[in-house]
Structure 1
């Protein structure tokens, strides 16, 4: 009884029982009123017929009519009695004393005896209408209540049986459905305990029925995936910061020591310039981390607007053409005009810039060092792809390179922080899209190249 499901089910059963009991008594009372009304209307019709027969032919006709009606199967009660209650004629042996004392309907019902009782002491009840003739005789026209009482009892029993069947069915359904619901809740609780214990890889069970339990479990599983991803990112950041920032901090300290020990102005100035450069690199690293955190936390989700992504891509190509030219690269672009997405212009521009910047660093084709940016529509989706003809990334490592500080260049010979693709991935998550990595040329083994594609969902 401590579970909400059991308490709600018990409350439902109690309310159902009260409503069903009210229905039984209401229908029974309604049936009794209907039977009583029909009985009174029938007797009133009988009384009217007998009065007309008396008015038409006197006592002779009255006796004949009452005798004929009394002899029919299932006949009503017909009695002719004196003013003091002495029965002169009729199909009743005796009636309860005092019945003939007043005219009109007999209320409450009275007892009477039949001619066929033969010692049967069971009481018979009836209601009747009594009227007086002009000669002082009393006429009683009544109806035995045995059949209506049997009918009322039958209705009541039928309703009670129906109530019992419905109650039993409700209990069975409650037990079956409630038990199933409680089992699912127990499974959810078991998975929750494992998650609380620290196992974020656990997921709440989904039965596949699509009911509210499944919808709740799916939403919570998405939340758990998000939490697990953030925790994993936080753990990686902690590990990678200790590894990747230790080297520049060490260089920074060494340059500061060189500046202090420098014997002339030129060496000190050179050391200070190196310190400034290392500091700028550290600032860029922390700015990138802050930007990723802002994106992943969704704090700038409200800044999404409808924007011309074709113009954003064109601006990025125009910005990086001189950089690519200085690096001896050819930067080509095929941008479909007029394409728009709902997003943040600053973040999308930064993501495209990161992809082009990475391509500039790693495009090492022997014959022609090439970078190509394409923007087009794929079905309902919009895709921005940046391809190069560099060494590429092995398929088994493509999921790792989007993690923070992960760099395939173990020697750190190339500039960078290992946060570029992490930011792009976070931007695509914020926009409800996805980031795809593939080889530019699958047939090439020496320089397969890398194509990074930002796929945006269809605009609403």
Structure 2
């Protein structure tokens, strides 16, 4: 009983029952309408035919008398059609016609009304077969009674055909409902069960599982694509949370240990106010560095957890690049290098202007540190263009570049290559660039130009629908990302 109750609650059963009910009601209404309309039309034709026959025979009786009437009925009775005739005298004796037997009461009620009767036809070995007909009976002068009618065999046959058709259609509806149930239960319910099984696996901790795609691009495939994108986002956020935790646990352990060692050393060895002051200043500097690391980690976490639609707006990239170039050009010239820009006027993108500014600043800072050629020349180039329906921003230098095997690794938190350990930094700048690029639906890509390194990110063009919340940056999200 429990299994039957569960079965009746399934979508497959309800859909099959619904289809069966809809098809049955529609089919019954259609067949009833056809049957009723056909029966009405055929009945009207019978009435018209009978009335016309009666009028003609009455005129013959008036003009030619009884003899002409009997001759006419005899002649018409020999035709094998659906017309019926019977002429009897005052005693009920048949004078002419093609009806062998008829209930006596029918002839006695000669009121001219139309009625349905059962009769037996005369001749052609059919006298033992009872039929149905629509007839009118009139009483003529001299006590004669005249019956004129039409056999209903064809009409009844058509009605039987409709009834058989209805029964056959109901059988087909049942079969269609069964096929629908099989289709829904085997295919649709199978896909739903797969989604449920995958969801249970994910809830048990396997965030790498994804919904399978059938490849026919139906509504389940579209749902699976959306859910997979959501799962990738959730996995990314969870991984980011784990990374932050691991980074804090491992990468901050060294500076904290160094800070504690310095304090212990000062307490043990420092003498006088000057010694303590120097130790406190060094400790304060180390604390500021730790705060910068924490703030960078928190900002990356906020960027990775932010919904893109809440922070996007339309930005003029040519003006943005011009502002950054104006800010950094004097600094780069002081370092003995030069800064070039190549962004077409009117280039726009859907992005967070503050974050893109931070990305360009980080990439320029990296180029300043590591982008010199072997002869000491420094050239930094900012460029932007539309490519493949996206806006691409590129920062290029003329330094030694990054080995291909390390290009993915340097995007992770606290990763610094051996060549860069002599320079100040936390190893979080490129991690922030990577997070901002992903927030904008793109990626951070490196390419060794030989010589030089180009770092590029891609953004959504204005009007391509990226982010859903374009141009409606929430103040709360803006303040969160700005901290």
TM-score when normalising by structure 2: 0.85
Does the C-alpha gap of structure 1 residues 449 and 239 become closer, same or farther in structure 2, counting only changes over 3 Å?
A: farther
Structure with higher RCO (Cα < 8 A, 6+ apart):
2
The 5 A counterparts of 1:304-319 are: 304-319=312-327
Gaps of 5+ in 2: 1-6, 464-483
Query: Which residue does 2:10 correspond to in 1?
Result: 3
Does the C-alpha gap of structure 1 residues 294 and 236 become closer, same or farther in structure 2, counting only changes over 3 Å?
A: closer
Query: Which residue does 1:189 correspond to in 2?
Result: 196
1:367 Cα deviation after fit: 0.6
* Post-superposition CA distance 1:355-403 (Å, at most 9, x none): 1112222224221342422223144433221123334222233223222
Does the C-alpha gap of structure 1 residues 301 and 249 become closer, same or farther in structure 2, counting only changes over 3 Å?
A: farther
The 5 A counterparts of 1:291-440 are: 291-299=299-307, 301-379=309-387, 380-409=389-418, 412-440=421-449
Does the C-alpha gap of structure 1 residues 248 and 319 become closer, same or farther in structure 2, counting only changes over 3 Å?
A: farther
Query: Which residue does 1:457 correspond to in 2?
Result: 460
1:14 Cα deviation after fit: 2.7
Q: 1:158 aligns with which of 156, 165, 190?
A: 165
- Looking at structure 2, the residues matched to 134 and 452 of structure 1 have their Cα atoms a distance apart, in angstroms, of 118
Does the C-alpha gap of structure 1 residues 247 and 289 become closer, same or farther in structure 2, counting only changes over 3 Å?
A: same
SS in 2 for 1:207: coil
Moved more, 26-35 or 135-144: 26-35
Q: Are the aligned partners of 2:100 and 2:127 in contact in 1 as well (CA < 8 Å)?
A: no
SS in 1 for 2:99: coil
Does the C-alpha gap of structure 1 residues 451 and 75 become closer, same or farther in structure 2, counting only changes over 3 Å?
A: closer
Q: Does 1:66 align with 2:73?
A: yes
Q: Are the aligned partners of 2:98 and 2:123 in contact in 1 as well (CA < 8 Å)?
A: no
Gaps of 5+ in 1: 442-447
RMSD: 2.6
Does the C-alpha gap of structure 1 residues 46 and 407 become closer, same or farther in structure 2, counting only changes over 3 Å?
A: farther
Q: Does 1:270 align with 2:258?
A: no
1:326 Cα deviation after fit: 5.0
Q: Are the aligned partners of 1:258 and 1:268 in contact in 2 as well (CA < 8 Å)?
A: no
- Looking at structure 1, the residues matched to 382 and 31 of structure 2 have their Cα atoms a distance apart, in angstroms, of 77
- Looking at structure 1, the residues matched to 220 and 329 of structure 2 have their Cα atoms a distance apart, in angstroms, of 54
- Looking at structure 2, the residues matched to 284 and 376 of structure 1 have their Cα atoms a distance apart, in angstroms, of 30
Q: Are the aligned partners of 1:335 and 1:376 in contact in 2 as well (CA < 8 Å)?
A: yes
Moved more, 158-167 or 392-401: 158-167
Does the C-alpha gap of structure 1 residues 301 and 253 become closer, same or farther in structure 2, counting only changes over 3 Å?
A: farther
1:212 Cα deviation after fit: 0.6
1:354 Cα deviation after fit: 0.8
- Looking at structure 2, the residues matched to 250 and 241 of structure 1 have their Cα atoms a distance apart, in angstroms, of 13
Q: Are the aligned partners of 1:305 and 1:342 in contact in 2 as well (CA < 8 Å)?
A: yes
1:329 Cα deviation after fit: 4.3
Query: Which residue does 1:140 correspond to in 2?
Result: 147
The 5 A counterparts of 1:5-20 are: 5-20=12-27
Q: Are the aligned partners of 1:92 and 1:114 in contact in 2 as well (CA < 8 Å)?
A: yes
How many residues are treated as equivalent by the alignment? 453
Q: 2:294 aligns with which of 263, 273, 286?
A: 286
- Looking at structure 2, the residues matched to 295 and 169 of structure 1 have their Cα atoms a distance apart, in angstroms, of 54
SS in 2 for 1:201: coil
Q: Are the aligned partners of 2:350 and 2:460 in contact in 1 as well (CA < 8 Å)?
A: no
